[in-house]
A = this chain, B = another copy of it.
Amino acid sequence: MLKNISTNKLAYIAGFLDGDGSIYVRMKLNNDYRFGFQISPYIAFFQSNKAKGNFSKICSMIGIGIIRERKDGIMEYTINKQKEILEFLSLVKPFLVLKKKQADLMIEILKKKNNVEDFDDFKQLVDMIELYREINYSQTRKKHKLTP
């Protein structure tokens, strides 16, 4: 659905993402996965449920992803299917100013994620994910501990 969107709307969404959005990859310990971690890339937007109506307008403008209301009164809108993340970023990236690096890194990570064959590949993937901490200017940098 994103494909038929006007460039003005794409520019608006890029501005909204730069201001309030999140491009990130969550790593969760989970032994059901090959290397002990579940890797979940996502793009997310948050708003108070008091702005529900207008926030939903932005979400429908984008036309992909899932919107849900959390128990704490926050509306959470996420895009977490790989295909949709890539489609979204390819269209929005030309208009990004603050989060261009995060977008590029996400695209690289998704490529890598689909080509993990052994533990070395997985380790490289994790190193790329760790880069988010540097880009996002976090003060503390806790390394994920891998157990092969």
Contact = CB atoms under 8 A, between A and B. Distances in A.
Contact of A19 (B20, B50, B54, B95): B20
A44 interface: no
Q: How large is the interface on A (under 10, 10 to 19, 20 to 34, 35 or more residues)?
A: 20 to 34
Q: Chain A contact residues: over half helix, strand or loop, or mixed?
A: helix
A19 B58 CA distance: 11
A21 interface: yes
Nearest to A58: B97
A137 B18 contact: no
A56 to B, nearest CB: 10
A58 B98 CA distance: 9
Nearest to A15: B15
A83 B21 CA distance: 31
Interface stretch (A3-11, A28-36, A122-130): A3-11
A90 interface: no
A48 B12 CA distance: 22
A119 interface: no
A57 interface: yes
8 contacts: A8-B11, A8-B95, A15-B16, A16-B18, A18-B20, A20-B20, A47-B98, A58-B97
Interface of A: 7-9, 11-21, 45, 47-48, 50-51, 54-55, 57-58, 61, 95, 97-98, 137
